[in-house]
């Protein structure tokens, strides 16, 4: 096997899933709260920089976008590595992908945000339905499913 194939698989999956997710966030939160993409990106940077990131400028927004894609790479890498050990993930990507996306949501909102500089004390299932359902769905079908399908396609 070509040594670059795993890297290509991971980067492609991360780029697609990360782009779906950030596009969703920009559209959803602009429609809901009037937030600009830069505000969304700065919100991502809050995880590392704390609440002051909201007042940051272009550099903080770019940093937030870089963090977003770094997280997408990590999430895609975990799925890719798991798919090497658990053949079910590739054989049943349509099932595995959304379930993985749900797990990503629970880890991000239930663990990562609690221990990041955001220190969220709200559990992921305590969000209002109008926020919870779309967020869960984008994680399942915009993150988990594309990662699973791309990983399966490149695994052949």
The domain ranges of the chain are 4-155
Confidence of residue 1 (pLDDT cuts 50, 70, 90): very low
How confident is the model at residue 122, as a pLDDT?
73
Distance CA 101, CA 123 (A): 17
Segment 46-89, tens digit of pLDDT? 999 998 999 999 999 999 999 999 999 999 999 999 999 999 99
pTM (2 decimals)? 0.92
Instruction: For helices 4-33 and 129-137, give the axis angle rounded to 10 degrees.
Output: 160
Residue 31, both tokens: 């429609």
Q: What is the DSSP code (8-state) at residue 22? A: H
State whether the Cα torsion 119-121-126-129 is positive or negative: negative
Task: Name the nearest CA neighbour of 79 among 133, 156, 6.
Answer: 6
Contact status, residue 21 vs residue 138, Cβ threshold 8 Å: yes
Higher pLDDT, 109 or 22: 22
Q: Where are the alpha helices (DSSP H) in the chain?
A: 4-33, 37-49, 58-85, 88-91, 93-107, 113-115, 129-137, 145-155
Task: Name the nearest CA neighbour of 37 among 45, 25, 55.
Answer: 25
H helix or E strand, kind and range, residue 115: helix 113-115
Q: Please provide the average confidence, as pLDDT, over all residues in the chain.
A: 93
Name the one residue in this structure whose structure tokens are 């899933």. 17
């Amino acid at each position: 096997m070509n040594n670059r194939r795993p890297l290509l698989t991971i980067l492609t999956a991360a780029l697609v899933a990360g782009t779906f997710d950030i596009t969703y966030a920009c559209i959803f939160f602009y429609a809901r709260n009037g937030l600009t993409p830069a505000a969304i990106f700065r919100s991502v940077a809050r995880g590392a920089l704390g609440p002051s990131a909201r007042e940051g400028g272009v550099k903080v927004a770019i940093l937030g976008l870089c963090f977003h894609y770094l997280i997408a790479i990590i999430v895609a890498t975990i799925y890719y590595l798991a798919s090497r050990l658990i053949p079910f993930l590739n054989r049943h990507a349509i099932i595995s992908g959304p379930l993985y996306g749900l797990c990503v949501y629970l880890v991000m909102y239930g663990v990562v945000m609690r221990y990041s500089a955001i220190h969220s004390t709200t559990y992921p299932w305590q969000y209002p339905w109008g926020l919870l359902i779309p967020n869960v769905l984008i994680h399942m079908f915009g993150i988990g499913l594309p990662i699973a399908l791309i990983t399966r396609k490149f695994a052949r």
